[in-house]
Amino acid sequence: MYNFLKHLHSGWAYLALLLLLIAVVNSVIGLTSRKDFFAKDRKIALFALIGAHTQFLIGIITYFVSPRGFNLLGNMEKNARLTSLEHPLINLIAIALITIGWSKHKKLINSEAKFKTFAIFYGLGLLLILSRIPWNLWF
């Protein structure tokens, strides 16, 4: 089961990162070109939110069944610290930022403010996620 979850978590990461990148780029383009916020823009952000939350859920399950996750918590060797502490904690913060961005946009009326909210919160979430990916395990 662990190997299946590990591969699912690694594979889904590509989709989640792509969706987040598309949402951030769409928001920056919408913000800089001053276009109106349409249902298409909301759906792009929603798919990114769903993809990121799904990835986080798969990651939490993998964390507790993995020999490299919860079992290594407290081990301060570099790779063990990354997979057992830094990766899950920073990604939790990233998911919280993405969720805050989604929640804040619903209260806004102005298109520019909606694009700006997505660009900032989704962008910060994407940067945090990229900063804590265990790249040596991917390649």
Can you give the three-state secondary structure of the chain, one letter per residue?
Answer: CHHHHHHHHHHHHHHHHHHHHHHHHHHHHHHHHCCCCCHHHHHHHHHHHHHHHHHHHHHHHHHHHCCCCHHHCCCCCHHHHHHHHHHHHHHHHHHHHHHHHHHHHHCCCCHHHHHHHHHHHHHHHHHHHHHCCCHHHHC
What's the pLDDT tens digit per position in 64-114? 888 777 777 777 787 778 888 889 999 999 999 999 999 999 999 999 999
pTM, whole model, 2 decimals? Answer: 0.91
